[in-house]
């Protein structure tokens, strides 16, 4: 049975590093959760090594700046690793062969900023692109609105590189559709999508290498991404109930809700669970 805890300090000494997801753990997309800043400060003051592992399509530095802009200190985290950073590195090294990308982005200009330092072209002309860079979706996006573009992309047999595999993300007023949902729709249509980020093993291995430790705890709010990915990497895991599944956990016994969600998501049970980062 998953152990319910009230504070990370109850178990922090068992690990060489604690890895935190961003959305749903540290903040809701706009503001930090009430106890999150204090919790991070407490862990750091107790000598814990901390890292952030995020399914963000942007590179690590913009995410570190976003976190610090919410009141967290960059110095509190040994490493900030994002799925966008992992994709950037593979494009830079030539592992990703395409050189001309059609961007799908949360805000205009995100892809141009992400591509800085790469010998590639970002084009908004589909006929000139070799592949699609799917790094974000504008707020209030619906999958139906993207169907005509997906049809055209599939007819050209183009790959989609998805640097944010989340299907949904928490926001102050509820959940929003995330890029992973669009990429999975493309796969269901018979197209090829390559996913970067959790739960895929390479990003966990990259972070383990950067931290250079073995006993790691993954803290996240997604069973499909944080918990499954951490489990498959051989890490212990902790599910935050007040993020992605806040509505479900508000309606019943925590253990019963968790067991049902694990079945629904085909995910392993986390080692620990707690309501919010504390």
**Which pLDDT score is estimated for 211?**
95
Confidence of residue 146 (pLDDT cuts 50, 70, 90): very high
Q: What is the mean pLDDT of the chain?
A: 95
Confidence of residue 168 (pLDDT cuts 50, 70, 90): confident
Joined tokens for residue 61? 């530095």
**Which pLDDT score is estimated for 226?**
97
**Which pLDDT score is estimated for 169?**
82
Q: Is residue 48 within 8 Å of residue 12, measured between CB atoms?
A: yes
State yes or no: pLDDT of 184 exceeds 80.
yes
Confidence of residue 91 (pLDDT cuts 50, 70, 90): very high
Counting every residue written for the chain, the total comes to 278
Q: Across the strands, what pairs with 20? A: 52, 219
Stretch 47-55: mean pLDDT:
96
State yes or no: pLDDT of 82 exceeds 80.
yes
Q: Is residue 8 within 8 Å of residue 43, measured between CB atoms?
A: yes
**Which pLDDT score is estimated for 139?**
83
Residues 6+ apart with CB under 8 A from 78: 17, 49, 50, 51, 210, 211
Q: Is residue 277 within 8 Å of residue 12, measured between CB atoms?
A: no
Confidence of residue 174 (pLDDT cuts 50, 70, 90): confident
CA nearest to 118, candidates 137, 103, 136, 138: 103
C-alpha–C-alpha distance, residues 132 and 117, integer Å: 19
Q: Is residue 265 within 8 Å of residue 230, measured between CB atoms?
A: no
**Of the segments 42-46, 171-175, 176-180, which one has the largest average pLDDT value?**
42-46
**Which pLDDT score is estimated for 54?**
94
Q: Which phi and psi angles does 17 have, rounded to 5°?
A: -155, 150
Confidence of residue 2 (pLDDT cuts 50, 70, 90): very high
Residues 6+ apart with CB under 8 A from 255: 1, 2, 4
Q: Is residue 179 within 8 Å of residue 135, measured between CB atoms?
A: yes
Select the more confidently predicted residue: 7 or 202: 7
Stretch 151-160: mean pLDDT:
98
Q: Angle 179-188/143-155 helices, nearest 10 degrees?
A: 50
C-alpha–C-alpha distance, residues 121 and 133, integer Å: 11
Joined tokens for residue 67? 């976190």
Confidence of residue 206 (pLDDT cuts 50, 70, 90): confident
Stretch 154-175: mean pLDDT:
88
**Which pLDDT score is estimated for 171?**
77
Structure pTM? Answer: 0.87
**Which pLDDT score is estimated for 170?**
75
**Which pLDDT score is estimated for 202?**
84
């Amino acid at each position: 049975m998953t152990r319910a805890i009230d504070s990370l300090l109850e178990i922090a000494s068992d690990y060489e590093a604690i890895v935190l997801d961003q959305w749903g753990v540290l903040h809701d997309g706009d503001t930090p959760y009430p106890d999150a800043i204090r919790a991070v400060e407490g862990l750091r003051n107790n000598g814990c090594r901390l890292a952030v592992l995020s399914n963000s399509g942007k590179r690590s530095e913009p995410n570190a700046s976003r976190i610090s802009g919410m009141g967290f200190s960059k110095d509190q985290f040994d490493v900030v690793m994002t799925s966008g950073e992992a994709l950037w590195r593979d494009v830079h090294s030539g592992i990703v062969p395409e050189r001309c990308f059609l961007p799908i982005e949360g805000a205009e200009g995100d892809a141009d900023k992400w591509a800085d330092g790469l010998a590639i072209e970002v084009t908004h002309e589909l006929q000139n692109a070799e592949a699609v860079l799917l790094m974000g979706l504008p707020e209030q996006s619906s999958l139906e609105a993207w169907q005509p573009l997906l049809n055209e992309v599939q007819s050209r047999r183009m790959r989609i590189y998805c640097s944010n595999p989340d299907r949904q993300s928490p926001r102050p007023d509820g959940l929003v559709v995330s890029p992973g949902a669009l990429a999975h729709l493309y796969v269901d249509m018979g197209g090829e999508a390559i996913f970067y980020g959790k739960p895929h093993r390479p990003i966990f291995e990259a972070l383990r290498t950067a931290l250079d430790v073995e006993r790691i705890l993954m803290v996240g709010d997604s069973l499909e991404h944080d918990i499954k990915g951490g489990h498959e990497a051989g890490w212990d895991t902790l599910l935050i109930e007040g993020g992605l599944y806040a509505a479900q956990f508000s309606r019943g016994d925590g253990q019963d809700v968790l067991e049902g969600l694990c079945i629904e998501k085909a995910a392993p049970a986390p080692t620990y669970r707690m309501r919010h980062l504390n």
